[in-house]
């Protein structure tokens, strides 16, 4: 079922959603969907709403919520990938694969041996906009519950400063011969088990009892209230994470300056409101980067963090490795073979997925 995102929480009693702009055109002109067919709409609480299409208008599509349930598609960790800037269009492939494999955020890093230099602000903003669009499309395709955010480029020194406070952090380095990633994975499993015990409260899912509602979508729909359990959040972890979720220089996401040409705009209409854009109770968002930040922050439920830095094509400079080790960030080997920069992050994410998600 095709999936789309809204930038706020869909509240109890809101049973109709307007999907506008590019997404509405995608539903109508690309997917060529018809009235009565189903889509999934994910809100910023991580709740998936199964919907059916009610009407097509010139500039928007109206869908009705049929079933609401908390998504369980995300990794038990918030995984942050710091990627040394690669050449050509390799970053696009890296972002796509990292989103598919569970990365929560990708941060471009200007390393000493990076050939690409993002010095022009206008050019940088265009690249960030395109990378965020790729992340958004990948999140829709692979059924994510969040849209991973692509941050503003930062220096290597800033990157190691940011990950130094993360619960589990490391740097894959081809010259490391002793310490492997297995130790990191064992620590991750241990941390996950501790976190699961601390957050034993199960999420409450909503369901509509009428099993025939999908075929008789025009009948009256009753949505039960659904929970967003935030009371188990560890304040220290969340404060640190939220402050790094925006432009990746320590500023709050409200100050993000990333711009995007995508006109992503979705309205939610309450059941007792008329279906027009003046009577909506969800803010309009014209910026994919802002949507990414909102959905990412709202989905934080005291998840432990894992962060790692991948070097560019030329690898890390020796002074960078020394600087990282001085502040306690270990280097690890990924095995006997040397991987390309575009292979490293997907390989690590796949290993984490195997350890943490597959039963």
Q: What would the DSSP string read from start to end of 225-263?
A: ------TT--HHHHHHHHTTSSSSSS--GGG-----S--
Q: What is the pLDDT of residue 253?
A: 39
Domain ranges of the chain: 78-196+301-356
The answer to whether 70 and 47 are in contact (CB under 8 A) is: yes
- The pLDDT of residue 67 is above 60: yes
Spell out the residues 6+ positions from residue 205 whose beta carbon is closer than 8 angstroms to its own. Answer: 68, 69, 70, 226
- The pLDDT of residue 238 is above 70: no
Higher pLDDT pick, 6 / 307? 307
CA distance 147 to 298: 11
**Residue 190 is inside which H or E element, if any?**
helix 181-198
CB atoms within 10 A of CB 55: 13
The CATH architecture to which 78-196+301-356 belongs is: 3-Layer(aba) Sandwich (3.40)
Q: pLDDT, tens digit, for every residue of 298-356? A: 444 568 899 999 999 999 999 999 999 999 999 999 988 999 999 999 999 999 998 88
Q: What would the DSSP string read from start to end of 90-136?
A: HHHHHHHHHHHTT-SEEEEEE-TT-S-----HHHHHHHHHHHHHHHH
- The pLDDT of residue 150 is above 90: yes
Q: Which band of pLDDT confidence, cut at 50, 70 and 90, is reported for residue 99?
A: very high
| SS3 assignment, position 22 | helix
DSSP assignment, residue 26? Answer: I
Higher pLDDT pick, 141 / 8? 141
Instruction: Pick the closest to residue 74 from 97, 104, 105 (CA basis).
Output: 104
Q: What six digits make up the tokens of 148?
A: 């991973």
Q: What six digits make up the tokens of 147?
A: 């849209």
| SS3 assignment, position 290 | helix
Q: Which band of pLDDT confidence, cut at 50, 70 and 90, is reported for residue 199?
A: low
CA distance 79 to 98: 10
Going from the C-alpha of 249 to that of each of 129, 159, 255, 301, the distances in angstroms are 18, 9, 11, 23
| SS3 assignment, position 350 | helix
Q: What six digits make up the tokens of 155?
A: 């220096």
The answer to whether 49 and 68 are in contact (CB under 8 A) is: yes
- The pLDDT of residue 133 is above 80: yes
């Amino acid at each position: 079922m095709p999936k789309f995102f809204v930038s706020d929480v869909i509240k109890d009693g809101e049973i109709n959603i307007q999907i506008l702009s590019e997404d509405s055109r995608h539903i109508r002109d690309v997917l060529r969907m018809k009235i009565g067919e189903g889509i999934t709409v994910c809100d910023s609480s991580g709740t998936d709403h199964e919907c059916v299409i009610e009407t097509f208008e010139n500039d928007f599509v109206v869908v009705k919520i049929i079933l609401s349930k908390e998504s369980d598609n995300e990794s038990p960790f918030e995984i942050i990938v710091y990627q040394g800037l690669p050449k050509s269009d390799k970053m696009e492939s890296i972002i796509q694969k990292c989103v598919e494999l569970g990365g929560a955020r990708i941060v471009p890093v200007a390393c000493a041996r990076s050939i690409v230099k993002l010095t022009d602000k206008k050019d940088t903003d265009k690249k960030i906009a395109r990378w965020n669009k790729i992340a958004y499309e990948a999140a829709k395709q692979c059924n994510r519950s969040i849209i991973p955010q692509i941050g503003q480029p930062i220096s290597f020194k800033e990157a190691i400063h940011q990950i130094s406070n993360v619960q589990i952090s490391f740097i894959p380095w081809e010259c490391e011969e002793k310490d492997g990633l297995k130790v990191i994975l064992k620590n991750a499993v241990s941390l996950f088990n501790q976190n699961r015990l601390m957050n034993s409260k199960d999420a409450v899912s909503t369901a509509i009892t009428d099993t025939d509602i999908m075929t008789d979508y025009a009948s009256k729909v009753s949505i039960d209230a659904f929970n967003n359990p935030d009371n188990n959040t560890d304040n220290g972890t969340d404060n640190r994470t939220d402050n790094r979720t925006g432009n990746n220089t320590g500023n709050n996401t409200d100050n993000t300056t990333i711009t995007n040409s995508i006109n992503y705009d979705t309205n939610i209409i309450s059941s007792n409101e008329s279906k027009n854009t003046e009577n909506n109770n969800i803010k309009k968002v014209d910026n994919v980067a802002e949507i990414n930040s909102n959905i990412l922050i709202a989905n934080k439920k005291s998840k432990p963090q894992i962060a790692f830095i991948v070097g560019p094509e030329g690898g890390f400079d020796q002074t960078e490795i020394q600087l990282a080790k001085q502040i306690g960030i270990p280097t690890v080997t990924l095995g006997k073979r040397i991987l390309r920069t575009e292979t490293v992050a997907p390989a690590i994410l796949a290993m984490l997925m195997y350890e943490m998600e597959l039963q």
